[in-house]
A and B are shown apart, each in its own frame.
Chain A
Amino acid sequence: MSTAAQQKSVYEQIGGEPAMAAAVEVFYRKVLSDERISHFFEDVDMERQAAKQKAFLTMVTGGPSSYSGKDMRAGHAHLVKRGLNDVHFDAVVEHLRSTLEELGVAAPLVAQVLAIAGGARADVLNR
């Protein structure tokens, strides 16, 4: 029998929207400072991009989001043309892990989030 705690999404368990707002800045800073991937973000509007990063975090933690594989494919197709591959995907996942760990998210929850994020690999890389 499942308990209420088990039914709650990771998103709710780690604190919902306020937790996402705190996480997005930490996460986005890591992504922008990483030379392996920062060039994909060179010419974007920072605020709009931060909003997208927040939507991404909300999605991978099981929060309210309008994620669809189709959007993910369309949204990254131009980056795949510019060489987006597994190395970059892994770098983002690594930053996601260290962000959640820094914010004190429990290991089993981090593992759940990373599993969801990993599931988007094929869509992001348009495979």
Chain B
Amino acid sequence: MSRVQVKHESKWYPLEPEESVLDGLLRQGVAVPNSCRAGACQSCLMRATSGDVPDAARVGLKDTLRTQGYFLACICKPVAGTRLEVSGADALRVPARIDSVASLSSSVLRVRLSTTAPLDYRAGQYVSLLREDGLARSYSLASLPREGLLELHVRRIPGGQMSGWLSEHARAGDAVSVQGPAGSCFYVPGRFEQPLLLAGTGTGLAPLYGIVRDALESGHTGPIWLFHGARTPEGLYLSEALRELASRHSGFNYRPSVLTGGSRDVAEGALDVLIRAECPKPAGFRAFLCGDSDLVLSLRKKLFLSGLSLKDLHADVFLPSTPRAEASGAR
């Protein structure tokens, strides 16, 4: 059976059977930014300049990108015999600089970035952050477009390449770039009296923080519930800012919760139990769920079964970046 050939910067690379374009290029030493390897983060976006790409490799891309030949290298397995010429997605990247790095808690960094040109995004969407050497990770935006600076909440991961670099070495003024935005977990103005339910764990708070402020500034009048869950109180952050926001908006309810170590101000127990207690009949709500995949998928199902319509359920599952060795070993 004939192999797939991929041409990148005037050199041809053969792919093994069943190998993705991303894995094949990485294996042969081509640096391609990548992160989730599951077709979600869009870090590995590439452009086909000639040859056929399967439709499955364009899932989730905007029509404007599809028509220009863009595809996701991590989920692209062209049919045998294909000769595909590709280029990177440099044209979609916006140069940026680190403005500041600060701690929001012992485990979460607040990274602010300034871009050379305004980035057109909705609060709650996510971007890929690219270091100059091509290292890429995707993060949700906690900022609002009007604020100018992009704000990311980065969880410090032991041994994490990007979070380690950001917390130890990155300095204000360092050049990076940003690609995106992506994702459809954001507030759309309208139905202003509809109750909103926002729930997330860990840095899943970042997009929710953007969405809740976007809704309030857009004039949402219905009740808004924000549930932020963590294992212990140390995993919560921005609590003061959110309590202050709740004191200014009577319809906004902030409910932090932990699995152990609750207190007068912080509920203790499973997030879904707390949500059921506070919002027993969520039919007719609009919901936004962000963070750990197991929690998000199970909450989505529970909310759907309790009457929320699928069109009102917006979920953004956070996928871990996958080290290359593990990814090829698993396949």
Interface residues of chain A, those whose CB is within 8 Å of chain B, are 25, 28-29, 32-33, 46-47, 50
Contacts and interface: CB of A to CB of B under 8 A. Distances in A.
Interface in B293-310: 297, 300-301, 304-305, 307, 309-310
Contact of B309 (A25, A33, A46): A25
A32 B304 CA distance: 10
Contacts of B307: 29
Contacts of B305: 29, 32-33
Contacts of A50: 310
B63 to A, nearest CB: 19
A21 B246 CA distance: 37
Nearest to B308: A25
Contact of A25 (B297, B301, B310): B310
Contacts of A32: 301, 304-305
A30 to B, nearest CB: 10
Contacts of B304: 25, 28-29, 32, 46
B323 to A, nearest CB: 24
A29 B301 CA distance: 9
Interface in B305-321: 305, 307, 309-310
Contacts of B301: 32, 46
Nearest to A41: B301
Nearest to B310: A50
Nearest to B306: A29
Contacts of B309: 25
Interface string B39-61: 00000000000000000000000
A33 B301 CA distance: 10
18 contacts: A25-B304, A25-B309, A25-B310, A28-B304, A29-B304, A29-B305, A29-B307, A32-B301, A32-B304, A32-B305, A33-B305, A46-B297, A46-B300, A46-B301, A46-B304, A46-B310, A47-B310, A50-B310
Given A32-B304, A46-B300, A50-B310, 9 more contacts: A25-B309, A25-B310, A29-B304, A32-B301, A32-B305, A33-B305, A46-B297, A46-B304, A46-B310
Interface string B268-307: 0000000000000000000000000000010011001101
Contacts of A33: 305
B135 to A, nearest CB: 29
B236 to A, nearest CB: 29
B59 to A, nearest CB: 10
A27 to B, nearest CB: 12
A32 B301 CA distance: 9
A28 B309 CA distance: 11
B24 to A, nearest CB: 26
B156 to A, nearest CB: 31
Which 8 pairs between the two chains have the least Cβ-Cβ distance? A50-B310, A33-B305, A29-B305, A25-B309, A32-B305, A46-B300, A47-B310, A25-B310
Contacts of A28: 304
Interface in B205-236: none
A47 B300 CA distance: 10
A79 to B, nearest CB: 19
Nearest to A50: B310
A124 B323 CA distance: 40
A25 B308 CA distance: 9
